[in-house]
Structure 1
Amino acid sequence: MVASMQRKKKRSSKAKIRGRRRRQNGEDFFVAPEIPLDLLIEILIRLPAKSLLRFKCVSMLWSSLIRSRYFSNRYDLTVASPLRPPNLYMSLVVHLVCNSMEVCHNPRETLLLSLSSSSAESFDQDLTIPGMGGRNMVVLRGLILHNVCRKACIYNPTTRQSVTLPAVKSNVFAQESYRKTVFYFLGHDPVLDQYKVVCTVVLSSKRFKRITSEHWVFVVEPGGSWKRIEFGQPHLPTRLGLCINGVVYYMAYTSLANNIVVSFDVMSEEFNMIQAPPEVSSYGKFVGFIEYGGKPAVFDYTNMRQTNLVDLWVLEVGGEWSRTSLFLKPCQLHLVDNDIDLSVEGTTQDGEVILAPIPLISPYYIIFYDLQKNDMSKVWIRGIPEHWFSKNDSNLRFFFKLMDKSGESILHLET
């Protein structure tokens, strides 16, 4: 009797999973079964991002699920793969009449290029976004932070969603000074799963003998607003920031001529200062601030052309710096043009340093320097609109960022 009931329950369960037939107006209709939520999530996270964005219109349940932070995090972990081709983002900006300290609405020409790498020889343009782009791009977990005039903008290239944060209401902007500057850094707290934008506003005199700085934090969430953070060490940031394991790092300069590295804990919202290597100048023209092996590092290539030597300084646990010196291979010296200055534009997931010519020359290229193998390779970039090369404008700026740790994020931005 018990065995018979179990067989009937089993058949009933199978029938429920397979669906059921319903008869209405003399016709048979097949009613599809409901998909369990956990199974639905496993199916959806394996779909392309474009499909997910379209499927938000299927139902309120699907829309809420796809827009949820839990689902976007699961999706980021699923799509992040070393086999995915990286995306190189290049922002071209011409400010016509714009001071970085002013909130302005003057016309400006901007272009954001997305260049996906499918081979080791070249990048081919697959996306252009006119009117989109800005200065000092920072890439973190599939998001791009850039600033236009005095405002910070966060852009998700996968969802095409852009959010402009309100301007910081700092008293520094109203003061008379030789130089006023604003810097934005993007951080992520892995414990509370929060994104925060850090703003440093700096007032400095000639030759930086006197520096005044204010610091503000914006939590990227509904109802977010700027909150001032007290830090008693005035400084001027000199490099774009890195976010590593919930801590934002950036190089800076103080009025005492000390080269430092500033750290900001995203969760506790506390600043700290670390002495930079004394041999390195934070204002050095040929110095880059990069992530190497999951740690902040200083890449000094000041003597690369004269002695073929580069130095890598890695910040170890406890605040000590370890130094590694590398000599370029003689057979690769021709890749470094003595007449063209190069700037460090970050690193790849494999620890390759990206070096890019500072002038916008045609044909354009970037150099990948593999520090572990001490090997260089040149990659030509195709797809930059030709009219940008003909611009002879001192206000022309372009910025690079490589996104290859999580090339796609479906995170829905809310402020």
Structure 2
Amino acid sequence: MKCLKTTHCVPLDVILEILVWLPVKSALRFKCVSKEWYNLINTPFFAKLQLNKSLKPDSRHNRILLCNANRSISIVDDIYDPLKWIKLNWPKDTVTGEDIICIVGSCNGLVCFKVIRQNWPNDNTKFYYKARCFLICNPTTRTFKSILPCSETKWTNNFISYGFGYDSEHDDYKIVGTRSRWRVDDGERHVFIYSLKTDLWSSPTPLTLVSTERRCLTIIQRPAILVNDMLHYLVSFVTQGPINEYKIARFDVVYEKWRDDLRLPVKVNGHVRVGELDGRLYLHVGEYGIESSEIWMMEEYGSWKKMFHLPKEVYKILPIALSKDGSHRLFIRDYYNYSPRLFWYDQRDNTRTSSFTLNTLLPGNGGSFKLCIASLVAIPGCSLTKLQQLEDGA
């Protein structure tokens, strides 16, 4: 790197190399040191360098746990010491009391939310959910952007599954919407994609599935899970006859096309869920009538290995993170006496540590969690109004 301007006899490129190793909150504080430091930390170049450091497996940068509930966001900076939560509130003109906010996905420190509202038909027979807008937010910098849904009305209801991912080829972030149930040969467009770079929705063609023998597909878990530039959908489908089977359908965010399905490592006879832990796909499986459950992890992409055997309540457990010191500890959310709580589970001695309830954050057992990293990634066209910190909570 060519030597940049100096500050107090220290070359700025040396200062840059030091600053990118700092946690994001520390880098933000150092913006007030000088005009040169302020301009340096605000550049997309610095944000990418810092992001690359954070994404390394041995990175010591803290992971942020984000809790979405009651039209506000609560975040904690360190999941190893999750005691002090910071609550952020959306501006009043962004969401209202009639809105429900759901997490679509997270990537490179950006989090995508879907804002939905209940709608009643004229005959008052059955309500449905309608996507009012999307919000892409950086909870570290408190910035966000509001995005209108696809203009076609049939693509705004609750029969659409959404995913959020990063296109590394074009340095672009995308929202991908696909039908929750469709036939391969019905001639309809099944995917719409929003590009943050162009600020437009589009429907690329062709988007036929690789598995041509599939006649009818149903996405049974939403939203999509992002791993390796692919959005993963747990689906059931009919091949020959009435028997449904499970697979993981994959949509390539970069090339905007379906890839070959992934097979599950075990036969499903009960509860099944697909998720992501520290950049790897996991499968959570439990049999009907049996309280224990298993978690399978991908060692290499496409290769499964059974990693955890969980002894209690299959349906109420949600894995959130793996410990950085190995694969023995798992950060989990569950419910105890109808109260949500978080704890570390150690498989070696079957113990739970640092367990605490979340009634303050999640009244009424609602809310959802997402693990993300702290980053300085900027959002093009973001609102001038930022999320406001309300209060600290334990």
| TM-score tier (shorter) | 0.5 to 0.7
Structure 1 unaligned regions, length at least 5:
1-16, 19-31, 94-109
2:376 maps to amino acid = I
Which residue in 2 is equivalent to 1:400?
369
Which residue in 1 is equivalent to 2:64?
87
The correspondence for 2:360, drawn from 378, 385, 390, is 385
- Describe the shift of the 1:358–1:116 C-alpha distance in structure 2 as closer, same or farther (beyond 3 A): same
Q: Deviations over 1:21-47 (max 9, x none)?
A: xxxxxxxxxxx7686452342244245
Counterparts of 1:360 and 1:130 in 2: how far apart (Å)? 29
- State the number of aligned residues: 334
Counterparts of 1:376 and 1:146 in 2: how far apart (Å)? 34
Counterparts of 2:354 and 2:379 in 1: how far apart (Å)? 34
Which residue in 1 is equivalent to 2:107?
140
Which residue in 2 is equivalent to 1:7?
none
Instruction: Tell me if structure 1 keeps the 8 A contact 2:63–2:77.
Output: yes
* SS state at 1:342 partner: coil
Which residue in 1 is equivalent to 2:53?
78
2:228 maps to amino acid = N
Deviates more, 1:229-238 or 1:51-60: 51-60
- Describe the shift of the 1:369–1:61 C-alpha distance in structure 2 as closer, same or farther (beyond 3 A): same
Is residue 45 of structure 1 aligned with residue 14 of structure 2? no
* SS state at 2:374 partner: coil
Counterparts of 1:113 and 1:360 in 2: how far apart (Å)? 23
- Describe the shift of the 1:236–1:69 C-alpha distance in structure 2 as closer, same or farther (beyond 3 A): farther
Counterparts of 2:48 and 2:202 in 1: how far apart (Å)? 27
Counterparts of 1:326 and 1:127 in 2: how far apart (Å)? 31
- Describe the shift of the 1:197–1:64 C-alpha distance in structure 2 as closer, same or farther (beyond 3 A): farther
Task: Report the Cα offset of residue 134 of structure 1.
Answer: 2.6
Structure 2 unaligned regions, length at least 5:
92-99, 117-130, 210-215, 382-394
The correspondence for 2:44, drawn from 37, 53, 69, is 69
* Residues 239-388 of structure 1 aligned to structure 2 (within 5 Å): 239=221, 240-254=223-237, 257-274=244-261, 276-277=263-264, 279-280=267-268, 286-291=271-276, 295-302=280-287, 306=290, 308-310=292-294, 312=296, 314=298, 322=304, 324=306, 327=309, 333=311, 336=312, 341-348=315-322, 350=324, 353-357=330-334, 361-362=338-339, 364-369=340-345, 373=348, 375=350, 377-381=352-356, 384-385=359-360
1:49 maps to amino acid = V
1:140 maps to amino acid = C
1:398 maps to amino acid = G
Instruction: Tell me if structure 2 keeps the 8 A contact 1:202–1:212.
Output: no
Which residue in 2 is equivalent to 1:11?
none
- Describe the shift of the 1:123–1:57 C-alpha distance in structure 2 as closer, same or farther (beyond 3 A): closer
Counterparts of 1:165 and 1:60 in 2: how far apart (Å)? 33
Task: Report the Cα offset of residue 274 of structure 1.
Answer: 0.8
Instruction: Tell me if structure 2 keeps the 8 A contact 1:247–1:264.
Output: yes
Is residue 112 of structure 1 aligned with residue 73 of structure 2? yes
Task: Report the Cα offset of residue 143 of structure 1.
Answer: 1.8
- Describe the shift of the 1:191–1:90 C-alpha distance in structure 2 as closer, same or farther (beyond 3 A): same
Which residue in 1 is equivalent to 2:174?
196
Task: Report the Cα offset of residue 198 of structure 1.
Answer: 1.4
Q: Deviations over 1:245-273 (max 9, x none)?
A: 32222212346534231212222111124
2:316 maps to amino acid = L
Counterparts of 2:297 and 2:22 in 1: how far apart (Å)? 41
2:159 maps to amino acid = T
Counterparts of 2:337 and 2:178 in 1: how far apart (Å)? 29
Task: Report the Cα offset of residue 159 of structure 1.
Answer: 0.3
Counterparts of 2:356 and 2:69 in 1: how far apart (Å)? 14
- Describe the shift of the 1:292–1:163 C-alpha distance in structure 2 as closer, same or farther (beyond 3 A): closer
2:199 maps to amino acid = G
Counterparts of 2:153 and 2:246 in 1: how far apart (Å)? 26
Which residue in 2 is equivalent to 1:414?
380
Instruction: Tell me if structure 2 keeps the 8 A contact 1:194–1:220.
Output: yes
* SS state at 1:217 partner: strand
TM-score, reference length from structure 2: 0.68
Instruction: Tell me if structure 1 keeps the 8 A contact 2:64–2:374.
Output: no
Which residue in 2 is equivalent to 1:107?
none
Counterparts of 1:171 and 1:37 in 2: how far apart (Å)? 52
Q: Deviations over 1:67-121 (max 9, x none)?
A: 433211111233555444433211113xxxxxxxxxxxxxxxx1211134465xx
* SS state at 1:267 partner: coil
* SS state at 1:123 partner: coil
* SS state at 2:190 partner: strand
TM-score, reference length from structure 1: 0.65
Instruction: Tell me if structure 1 keeps the 8 A contact 2:161–2:224.
Output: no
